[in-house]
Structure 1
């Protein structure tokens, strides 16, 4: 099968065009485990399928390296928008993309052979604990304590199409990966959770480290950036528009309070293409 690899701020995905290729019956969770392996496969943070949508022209399915299927991927959907435009599947800069979470709107703001700059409407941030989901008797889970081994960590939980847990810190802890793994698999989260460690740099800038559910440490996460911004706004630490800094670059994220929607702007870049035998 033919594939294309794209990345957004180092968050890399393998794309398989299921529209132009007749692939037959494939076990996609197993394929994701194998093709995403960085030692024995192509290597990536996830597998994304390009399909026709039931309600829109295009549908996107995303699988983590452990084979689990994610509801939404903010960096992935920007790369998706670039792929369908650049490959000729669509000539439109504006798209409605059907995901497991629902319909997501994308817009190509500018492009060149080297870089595309794309805006995504990520929708409404969900704060109700039972909808995230997180086990709690309280309606919201904002700056609440959870146990990670011997430590109690203060967290805020938000659903941006998928569950996120933001940990606001003075400095990124050296053992953030270990803590992230413990939070991801905590009994507090029925569907596990993505984890973001957030350092506030100013009223308009935050810095993140990302531990993704089913993938581990990744260089960036757009949905994670959205969740982190919401958590910091609720804590009164930043404005509703901020630069969100990752290890390999920045995103512009805005929480439009009137619409109660979150918007992300950022790059999407092509890496290489190839053929994979499965």
Structure 2
């Protein structure tokens, strides 16, 4: 039996979304890879998302995320906005909460196909990222390139339900640089679970230009948790104010690391692309 899906995106970061209330979805990594593959019968996406019935009081759903390489992950920022928008559309409400393996997330309508989500507080201890050895996550002892002239060095580490390392760069980096450097760092021994790699250029106290190499997905047009991690990293270093615009080539997100409760608040657009049916084998 084929399964119905929704194709959505947030700033070009695209998703296959499957609602499981009326159709079972317990995919193998191979099935996820087949769905995510672009061309050759796959739908094509950066992540696959399952919206399950809720497991706990106060939640509208339980949500699962997979990267295109088949690995299940704890959080996906742009995907969270898409899920929140869908749940608000189906309920007719202006606010919604749902659970993930990384904890409870919530969203509110912020305009026409514009959603604000509470991504919760960042995890900053080295055991929470996690790192393979004890280290100050505000200034991690890591560099790429020659010892006397590293390409990037001394990043900040943040977990937003998934691990991120953020390098600050003097100018926006090219896709080639992000791919070459990001693919090296993603599987560095310091990160036993792999890591998402961000390259952040501070354009102003309220403006970061960002490119992200995503763990298990590669270079993507936008990364919501990567934007959250970059803003948290910049605030920790004193480089930006608490609220800033995080700019990707495909558009921008507004991220605030709220001082009152330490939560990270993300506002950005969602887009519904099309609906379809997965191949029977998927």
1:156 aligns with 2:178: no
Equivalent residues in 2 for 1:126-275, closer than 5 Å: 126-138=123-135, 140-148=136-144, 150=146, 152=150, 153-174=153-174, 175-275=177-277
The match for 1:81 is: 84
Structure 2 gaps, min length 5:
none
Compare the two structures and name the one with the higher strand fraction. Answer: 1
Greater displacement, 30-39 / 241-250? 30-39
Distance 2:272 2:93 in 1: 19
The match for 2:118 is: 121
Under a length normalisation based on structure 2, what TM-score does the superposition of the two structures give?
A: 0.91
Distance 2:77 2:26 in 1: 25
Under a length normalisation based on structure 1, what TM-score does the superposition of the two structures give?
A: 0.92
Deviation at 1:26, TM superposition (A): 3.9
In the alignment, is the contact (CA less than 8 A) between 2:88 and 2:96 conserved in 1?
A: no
Structure 1 gaps, min length 5:
none
1:68 aligns with 2:64: no
The match for 2:111 is: 110
Q: Classify the secondary structure of the residue corresponding to 2:141.
A: strand
In the alignment, is the contact (CA less than 8 A) between 2:87 and 2:96 conserved in 1?
A: no
Deviation at 1:110, TM superposition (A): 2.1
Deviation at 1:147, TM superposition (A): 4.1
The match for 1:45 is: 46
Q: Classify the secondary structure of the residue corresponding to 2:191.
A: coil
Distance 1:58 1:15 in 2: 13
Greater displacement, 146-155 / 213-222? 146-155
Q: Classify the secondary structure of the residue corresponding to 2:270.
A: strand
The match for 2:97 is: 96
1:181-222 CA-partner distances (Å, limit 9, x unpaired): 111110000110111100000011000001101000001111
Distance 2:109 2:141 in 1: 40
